[in-house]
Amino acid sequence: MSKKIKNMLSILFVAVLTVSAFCIPASAAEDDLTISISTDEKDSVTAKVGDTVKYAIYMTDTKEEVIGAAMSFFYNDEYLKLNADSINCESFKTAIGNPKLKNFYTFTWTDVQAPVKLNGDKALVSAEFKVLKGGKTDLSYFISDMYGDDMTYLKSYKITCKLWVNGKEVEDSAVPIVNNDTANSEKIQGDFVNYIDGMGEENSPNKDDHKSVVVEKKYISTQQNSQVVDVTKVVESSANGSGSNTTLIIIIAIFFFFVIGLKLGDNSFNQNKIFEEEKNQFEQEITTPNNDYEAKELVPQKNTINKVADLFDNTIDKVVDKLKNILKKL
């Protein structure tokens, strides 16, 4: 009897060990977060729930100094919690950013008086995150604008990224992922061209197959009550030149007639001044006793200025009507 009990206990013990062998790795795996920072899977990094992850993006191999930049990085707050206080635009000390955006951070910077020479010692931007749960996620970026001192976007550059887990550097030269989906939905495309290989059009070795990521663009009004306006139509019409030419003609026409109006208004003011002087003189003369005034029927006659004013008045009305029709079609 005791032998059977021993056998049963042995079988039970083996069963418990077997179940434990499967359960322990499964539990550990639930705490693991795989973070992709590059299109190359070998550059993926694993962190655990509660770990602190630091992400930084660098730009090197530029030919000119930079006087303006606009850039964003993206994350998923389901897996990573951004530490807003950790954000550091190391290369652009006076950059202005917004850490309250959903799942991404964006900043802008410009300083024509103090251009910046980019190098691998200072990051364009870096930030720390706390790992919230296990699974899979990624970190990515998108550059909207990066202007050289000639006021054109950079065409020679190399972009890399680094990653730290709990202060330990685990990746130091990966080509970061260029964001497509969120960048497109937010319409943050500027003049800068982002390429998948992280290199510019002038220095990339992949000139025959240099794939870029271009998303939708938006225009932000500079008026007090700023509104975001989709300028897809403007981009399309500017491609054949008709849209920009029409707008230029409208602006010139409005300015021209504005100047003419000022001139006519000035002439009208002078005529009124002369009339007032003559009227005052007449009123003084008519009150003089025993004057020789004889009543006359005076009919004002239009001089050259009045005729020109009437002509321009009619012309302006016609042009305004045409401009209204043109603007309705834009």
- The answer to whether residues 153 and 36 belong to one domain is yes
Taking Cα atoms as reference points, which of 174, 222, 213, 156 lies closest to residue 190? 213
pLDDT score, position 127 = 98
Question: Domain for residue 5, yes or no?
Answer: no
pTM: 0.60
The proportion of the chain whose per-residue pLDDT surpasses 90, expressed as a percent, equals 48
Question: Domain for residue 8, yes or no?
Answer: no
230-251: b (≥16 Cβ within 10 Å) or e: ebeebeebeeeeebeeebeebe
**Tokens 């009123």, residue located:** 283
Q: Which of 89-98, 131-140, 271-280, 309-318 is predicted with the least confidence, judged by mean pLDDT?
A: 271-280
- The answer to whether residues 113 and 251 belong to one domain is no
pLDDT score, position 329 = 58
- The answer to whether residues 44 and 85 belong to one domain is yes
- The answer to whether residues 126 and 100 belong to one domain is yes
Question: Domain for residue 280, yes or no?
Answer: yes
- The answer to whether residues 116 and 250 belong to one domain is no
pLDDT score, position 292 = 60
Q: Which of 92-96, 159-163, 312-316 is predicted with the least confidence, judged by mean pLDDT?
A: 312-316
- The answer to whether residues 189 and 255 belong to one domain is no
Taking Cα atoms as reference points, which of 213, 66, 57, 214 lies closest to residue 153? 66
pLDDT score, position 35 = 97
Return the structure tokens found at 212. 């870029």
Taking Cα atoms as reference points, which of 134, 165, 130 lies closest to residue 28? 134
Looking at 184, 199, 230, which one is the last position of a domain? 230
Q: Is the predicted pLDDT of residue 58 greater than 70, yes or no?
A: yes
Question: Domain for residue 181, yes or no?
Answer: yes
Measured between alpha carbons, how far is 75 from 214 in angstroms, rounded to an integer? 19
273-297: b (≥16 Cβ within 10 Å) or e: eeeeeeeeeeeeeeeeeeeeeeeee
> Do residues 115 and 63 touch, judged by C-beta distance below 8 A?
no
- The answer to whether residues 225 and 273 belong to one domain is no
> Do residues 157 and 197 touch, judged by C-beta distance below 8 A?
no
Q: Is the predicted pLDDT of residue 285 greater than 90, yes or no?
A: no
Question: Domain for residue 164, yes or no?
Answer: yes
Q: Which of 128-137, 162-171, 281-290 is predicted with the least confidence, judged by mean pLDDT?
A: 281-290
**Main-chain dihedrals φ then ψ at residue 80, nearest 5 degrees:** -130, 135
Question: Domain for residue 26, yes or no?
Answer: no
Looking at 204, 230, 256, which one is the last position of a domain? 230
pLDDT score, position 304 = 61
**3-class SS string, the chain:** CHHHHHHHHHHHHHHHHHHHHHHHHHHHHHCEEEEECECCHHHCEEEECCCEEEEEEEEECCCCCEEEEEEEEECCCCCEEEEEEEEECCCCCCCEEECCCCCEEEEEEECCCCCECCCCCCCCEEEEEEECCCEEEECEEEEEEEEECCCCECCCCEEEEEEEECCEEEEEEECEEECCHHHHHCCCECCCCEECCCECCCCCCCHHHCCEECCCEEEECCCCCCCEEECHHHHHHHHCCHHHHHHHHHHHHHHHHHHHHHHHHHHHHHHHHHHHHHHHHHHHHHCCCCCCCCCCCCCCCCCHHHHHHHHHHHHHHHHHHHHHHHHHHC
- The answer to whether residues 177 and 36 belong to one domain is yes
User: pLDDT by residue (tens digit) across 28-52?
Assistant: 567 899 999 999 988 899 999 999 9
Q: Which of 32-41, 130-139, 264-273 is predicted with the least confidence, judged by mean pLDDT?
A: 264-273
- The answer to whether residues 252 and 176 belong to one domain is no
User: How confident is residue 107, by pLDDT bands cut at 50, 70 and 90?
Assistant: very high
Measured between alpha carbons, how far is 82 from 99 in angstroms, rounded to an integer? 8
The proportion of the chain whose per-residue pLDDT surpasses 70, expressed as a percent, equals 59
Between 278 and 118, where is the model more confident?
A: 118
pLDDT score, position 222 = 34
List of residues 6+ apart from 132 with CB closer than 8 A: 49, 77, 78, 79, 80, 81
Number of domains composing the chain = 2
Measured between alpha carbons, how far is 165 from 45 in angstroms, rounded to an integer? 9
The per-residue pLDDT of the chain, averaged, comes to: 77
Q: 32-36 and 52-60 as β-strands: parallel, antiparallel, unpaired?
A: unpaired
**Domain ranges, residue 42:** 32-230
User: How confident is residue 14, by pLDDT bands cut at 50, 70 and 90?
Assistant: very low
pLDDT score, position 54 = 98
Question: Domain for residue 120, yes or no?
Answer: yes
pLDDT score, position 200 = 94
Q: What average pLDDT score do residues 312-327 get? A: 69
Between 240 and 233, where is the model more confident?
A: 240
Q: Which of 130-144, 152-166, 245-259 is predicted with the least confidence, judged by mean pLDDT?
A: 245-259
Measured between alpha carbons, how far is 292 from 210 in angstroms, rounded to an integer? 97
- The answer to whether residues 214 and 323 belong to one domain is no
Q: Is the predicted pLDDT of residue 328 greater than 70, yes or no?
A: no
What CATH number has the domain bearing residue 71?
A: 2.60.40
pLDDT score, position 314 = 72
Question: Domain for residue 15, yes or no?
Answer: no
- The answer to whether residues 222 and 262 belong to one domain is no
User: pLDDT by residue (tens digit) across 158-208?
Assistant: 999 999 999 999 999 999 999 988 888 889 999 999 999 999 999 999 888
User: How confident is residue 223, by pLDDT bands cut at 50, 70 and 90?
Assistant: very low
Q: Is the predicted pLDDT of residue 231 greater than 70, yes or no?
A: no
**Tokens 């008709």, residue located:** 242
Looking at 202, 230, 258, which one is the last position of a domain? 230
> Do residues 86 and 123 touch, judged by C-beta distance below 8 A?
no
- The answer to whether residues 200 and 269 belong to one domain is no
